[in-house]
Amino acid sequence: MTNLAQKLTDLTEEIISDFPELFLIELLISGTDGNQRVLVLIDSESGLSIESCSMVSRKLSIKIEELELIEGKYNLEVSSPGIDRPLSKLRQYQKNIGRRLQIESLEGKTFDGILKSIVDEKKIVVSLGDTDETMLLEEIKKAKILISFN
């Protein structure tokens, strides 16, 4: 992680620490000096509102300006990770208990099942039809929510 990315991550964590339902998923910086894009992906256990994204964006923008962290133009976007983005944090799994997931293991196997529970910070339980499978998070390459339109 670059020095700028670490500073912005720390500032974002500080801003959202006043709102325990919010958590940081990822912070990405792209572009070139003088024309950078900062994408901050946050989520909430109770559903992320536009107001929450706006509030984090305003506060982070003020900090960037006060501390003169980015020279030149930059575009700051604070958003939810979106339904198509893989789960990466334990809190995302917790939020999605009861939902159908597609899980790809590090071994290349793919499973579709219902997320039943979180065992601890390292394991989840997924219902694969007639069996429940305990999976280590470190052995999951990618887990995505499957959308059902019924």
130-146 pLDDT tens trace: 999 999 999 999 999 99
| Domain hosting residue 102, numbered range | 90-145
Determine the pLDDT at residue 147.
85
What's this model's pTM, rounded to 2 decimal places?
0.84
My answer on whether 8 and 72 are in the same domain is yes
Share of the chain above pLDDT 70, in %: 99
**Domain of residue 126, CATH code:** 2.30.30.100
CB-based contact 41:21 (threshold 8 Å): no
My answer on whether 72 and 95 are in the same domain is no
Write out pLDDT tens, residues 50-101: 999 999 999 999 999 999 999 889 999 999 998 889 999 999 999 999 999 9
- Residues 131, 71 within the same domain: no
Tens of pLDDT along 106-127?
999 999 999 999 999 999 999 9
User: What per-residue confidence (pLDDT) applies to 50?
Assistant: 95
Of 79, 102, 131, the residue at which a domain comes to its end is 79
Residues for the chain: how many in total? 150
Mean pLDDT for the stretch of residues 36-52: 93
Are 9 and 70 part of one and the same domain? yes
pLDDT at 83: 82
Residue 117 lies in a domain: yes
User: 119-146 b/e with 16+ CB inside 10 Å = b?
Assistant: eeeeebbbeeeeeeeebebeebeebebe
Beta bridge partners of 36: 31, 74
**What mean pLDDT do residues 34-52 have?**
92
Do 62 and 27 have their domain in common?
Answer: yes
